[in-house]
Amino acid sequence: MSTQPPEGDSEEKTDVERRNADVCNVVGAVEEVGSKWKLVILNDLRDGEKRFNELKRSTGASSYTLSRVLNDLEEEGFIDNRKELESPVASYYTLTEKGGDLCPVFDALDEWGADWLE
Amino acid sequence: MSTQPPEGDSEEKTDVERRNADVCNVVGAVEEVGSKWKLVILNDLRDGEKRFNELKRSTGASSYTLSRVLNDLEEEGFIDNRKELESPVASYYTLTEKGGDLCPVFDALDEWGADWLE
DNA sequence: CGGCATCCTTGGAGATACTG
DNA sequence: CAGTATCTCCAAGGATGCCG
């Protein structure tokens, strides 16, 4: 909710951005999920539900970064967060439909990487 | 080559190891083209050959940023640069095969954007 | 275990000005 | 037109510490 420190959202669209949006929405998509950590985390959640420290280990993100990006992703509707407040608190993250619909993007990236990264 | 997890691997691997192998391509791809301007410019070049100021207008990048990203992209083999040194000098940029192979990624992003950005 | 607060470093990127 | 050179600003993100 209160993500004040590193928040720099600008809702205003420039003419250029609007014009590009008319042509295609690649730019819009890039603006929303075009950051490294968002992509890495979302891609990681394709396997299914994961917990905070699990994501921390598998992505290599710091607690701070992971926490912030997860909050952003949740606010933007890419992931859901289920919390269990019992003894050792547990927090589980899953992809929403919006997030899951990015799978074709990851598949395409994966395929491209298979051809050009080895 | 199929990029699906190599099933039938009875060897014991940790989740992290399996995940890293599994995810490596996506992460690697994100590391290479995961920045906003790279994606925007490459996507813009899908239309075909474009000149410097043309890209500047259509992407909205500053001369400085555009120049640097174009240099990077050329060094990394994503684009080609053809120069005409006649009267008004002209510089044309096109996608290489490596860059063009990213089209499925842009298509996937475009499709996702069509569903979730409006 | 999950995750927020603080400090601090780096580089991404805009504005501006200048060359060939 | 096609860049390059600075200067500058700010967000991203690592490290560390603390707390429920």
Per-residue pLDDT reduced to its tens digit, B27-43: 999 999 988 999 999 99
**Cα B7 to Cα A81: distance, rounded to the nearest angstrom:** 30
Residue A23's pLDDT is what? Answer: 60
Tokens of B107: 């298509």
Looking at A33-47, B11-25, B75-89, which range is the least confident one? Answer: B11-25
Pairing of strands A79-84, A90-95: antiparallel
Residue at the smallest CA–C1' distance to nucleotide C12: B65
| Mean pLDDT, residues B66-72 taken together | 95
Q: Which residue of chain B comes nearest to A114, CA vs CA?
A: B25
**Cα A17 to Cα A79: distance, rounded to the nearest angstrom:** 26
pLDDT along chain A (118 residues), means of 10: 38 44 79 93 96 96 96 96 91 97 96 93
pLDDT of B18 higher than 90: no
Which residues of chain A are within 8 Å of residue B104 when distances are taken between CB atoms?
108, 111-112
**What is the least distance, in Å, from the CA of A108 to any CA of chain B?**
5
| Mean pLDDT, residues B66-90 taken together | 93
Residues 6+ apart with CB under 8 A from B99: B42, B45, B73, B77, B78, B79
Strands (E), B21-75: 50-51
Query: How confident is the model over B39-65, as pLDDT tens digits?
Result: 999 999 999 999 999 999 999 999 999
**Cα A92 to Cα A111: distance, rounded to the nearest angstrom:** 29
According to the 3-state scheme, what is the secondary structure of A68-98?
A: HHHHHHHHCCCEEEEEECCCCCEEEEEECHH
**Top-confidence residue, A11 or B22:** B22
Spatial distance from the CA of A67 to the C1' of C5 (Å): 12
Give the percent of chain B with pLDDT over 90: 72
HSE (side-chain half, CA atoms, 13 Å) at A17: 12
Query: With a 7 Å cutoff on the CB, does B63 touch strand D?
Result: yes
Residue A116's pLDDT is what? Answer: 94
Spatial distance from the CA of B16 to the C1' of D19 (Å): 29
Residues 6+ apart with CB under 8 A from B115: A101
Where do the domains of chain B lie, and which CATH numbers do they carry? 9-116 (1.10.10.10)
